[in-house]
């Protein structure tokens, strides 16, 4: 039978693994979306949270640091460390939201300068207000 300290450390290990793997998965998806944005095909779908998906996973790494503290010490991090990391997580999330909003404005303006037309409606498979479809010709909007 595992002692209570080993159970706590095991929970810390699972926390570290989960948050790191989740951050890596989101990061890969975000970077893939950014790469696809600059391929300029006949039609392109711009997802407004693209840059958020690149920056926000860093906050998950900070949460993994808290889990790592549990893993290595067997107890919860002291309140002053939790407060510092909590502030850093909040700053990262706010920063990623602001940069994502600015990037959205910049990128959509850039597409329109490249000759793309904003299609009306929501692209198939996306939630309202989350994605916008752009096309080089109005007939391509219907496909």
The pLDDT of residue 114 is above 70: yes
Contacts of 28 (CB under 8 A, 6+ apart): none
The pLDDT of residue 143 is above 90: no
Spatial separation of the C-alpha atoms in residues 11 and 64, rounded to whole Å: 12
Question: What is the domain range of residue 133?
Answer: 4-142
Is the pTM higher than 0.85?
Answer: no
pLDDT digits (tens, 9 = 90+) for 53-90: 898 899 999 999 999 999 898 888 999 999 999 999 99
Tell me the average pLDDT across 91-107: 92
Q: How confident is the model at residue 1 (pLDDT cuts 50, 70, 90)?
A: low
The pLDDT of residue 2 is above 80: no
Closest CA to 106 of 48, 52, 58, 67: 48
Structurally, the chain folds into a number of domains equal to: 1
């Amino acid at each position: 039978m595992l002692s209570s300290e080993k159970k706590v450390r095991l929970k810390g290990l699972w926390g570290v693994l989960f948050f790191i793997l989740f951050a890596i998965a989101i990061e890969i998806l975000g970077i893939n979306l950014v790469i696809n944005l600059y391929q300029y095909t006949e039609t392109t779908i711009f997802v407004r949270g693209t840059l958020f998906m690149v920056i926000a996973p860093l906050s998950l790494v900070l949460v993994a640091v808290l889990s790592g503290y549990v893993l290595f010490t067997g107890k919860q991090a002291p309140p002053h460390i939790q407060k510092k990391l909590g502030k850093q997580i909040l700053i990262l999330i706010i920063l990623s939201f602001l940069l994502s909003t600015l990037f959205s404005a910049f990128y959509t303006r850039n597409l329109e300068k490249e000759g793309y037309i904003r299609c009306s409606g929501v692209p198939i498979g996306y939630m309202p207000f989350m994605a916008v479809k752009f096309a080089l010709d109005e007939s391509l909007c219907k496909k």
